[in-house]
Chain A
């Protein structure tokens, strides 16, 4: 299995200067992640745990006040690894949409309101494939939409004339029109009702399997992870606390936080009250000492309060950062 994207010790902080006081938010703190070719890699965690920021780092969309403090992100394109942050913007631009593309969270305002859908497609296509004439780009977009089973008449409509679900599908189509190797989807289903959510997930799965591209899916909805992803990383307070094959994590979650997450999922026929971790996620301005989860962890030990847990390998494809696993 070739890895397409390697993220090594990524540190990305928000540097906010709120009325004179300099404050840094450690949104992503030393995270390693490998995106395997052909895999569907899920990233789970409560909102505010830094998963969306990590995606931005992966996609090199770092805008002030977010700043890349340390760490490397390599794009491996036909065996040539390129460190994203050492090359200049024009180089990075080549990777965008052809190597990796990004599906945003709210699709409400992502499409240019004054352009027809086909013009937006044409912009995205022509800015990467030089020399494509106008209707060649339209043909390509029509072709792509037909593949995805979407009515290509929507090309002549304006964004505001489409329903929420339809607009999300168009955004996904837009992100995958150039057949990228990696699709990064950030909460792609959150803004939709359950039924449309199902349709969008189905769409993503189809694209992934037909184009053989790998998918990085960020969502707080564990049901989606269980349904679609084969690899799963759980993030908490800017760190990856557990990572491994999805089935393994669901069957034998090692980290207490992951257990809570899985228990929070309703199951058929199960009438008992859902449990959720006590308290609420820590504010990233002043993280608790040692393991960030310790204030809410029922199994916390002295060690947990003082030292940050190291990462232990539970099995060949299952890692966890928790002192419990040390024993």
Chain B
């Protein structure tokens, strides 16, 4: 059928035209005859109903509501946890905070339990995955918060401060909560290194019923948490308390035993059924630049170790120059200030807004008086008489090439900064030579342990490795995650299962959208994130006191109440459906009384609803869904308003009457009653 040049079409003149005209009438009749023979296309309503599409935007219903339904909590042994996460992920019910956390800590469940005033339970829930919530509650870089759906609306939930709050509350009930794990397996596992990854693996193995022996070369356990993280971020008693908790679970902790020196690794392998290497990275990398052999050139780890242990790194009154822009560099700079450096300058390759460290870290550092000079690369250390007198830097034009690979392009501009100490904070490396001596463990040419990044096995059966020694420099929570995975591998190994078979569920790695910043001027204050109170910068640089204050109880409960419970399919009364509705057809009020939180009012005025679906599209919990109902006749206008009970109807069938829902919500009655009083 081709489109004609012109749609104008005339009958011919004369007899031919007359015939055409007559034929046109007959053609018309023929078309109707064909239609009659084709038969009706009618749907015989109500006996027959047209199938409504899956996406049909019928009246809304709630799958569940706070107060009426319990919130799902992601709990379980490490061996079952991945399955849970995987199932949620494929059902698109995995909350962003859980999915984005390397260890899949249930931040959503924590917020729910805290807001419900079940803080100790919240602590225990978090500890299942994040074995040291008190520690991580102070130092974690909280990837959960960047994937928090709340970023889309205003500001993310303060998950990390809530960990800290939960830890502090837990201390009150700690004595009755601590019980040693039951030993159900005869096998024992040796864990070498007491950093976060080793601890995580030990924790899981203890819960699985193994006997665990942990060797630590240092006097005190904690690994990098103790030697690397400054005390103003992590008070040592918190770390000690949480390690003690794990020891009380049955961990056999042996401090001051350096494997490879005090005890050969081969012996350990013989004595135990499995060995886990969680030794971390012990030495700093220093760039091979001219002048790095001068006095005053130091590595970041050694610097931090000295500063943390003794409170004096030998830089009192000196000018410190930190090379690097990562978190370690910032830590170094801030420790340097606290141990008395007269001036601390930080230099990094990247531009100001693309520094690799976390933005809040550098912001706090700048507040304290650290000077950051960006877009500079190190050229050489200027020394006089074998002692550092300055640092020569070269302008950096760009850090990454078009494909996003690290390939700095340097300019021709040089700057020299006078200083007395240069600290290189450009990375760390493992120190394995004494450890692996005399075993079959293979080490790659670059000094890295040969190990699988997914199964955490090494070249020797029965010897596993986890933590930064495998992954390279990373975050504490990522190390903990490798610990959990390694524990699964060890469990499978000791149970006689293949470590890497298909039955083993891998944690899915979702990708979350980057949320654009939200204009906060129009946001009501009670919707905003509770601000974290900090020590004043000029006072806190004097010593290693904690910078952050943490939440008070009320603040914490309110902050936890902000959580949207993404993907839980239980409405938490976040009000964003009502805010998104063009016509305010929804009225949502939540009762935030701790211990009996509920959605007090959820009213849908069906007559204002324009069935646009914007509310259900943005519902973070997926509790608000469209039904396939379309028979919406009412004898009275009043019944077109659906209350919570009616919103919780099953949604089956094609009729929504506004009266077939569940019983009136107890919470709603209570609120009404209170108002009456």
A and B pair up: no
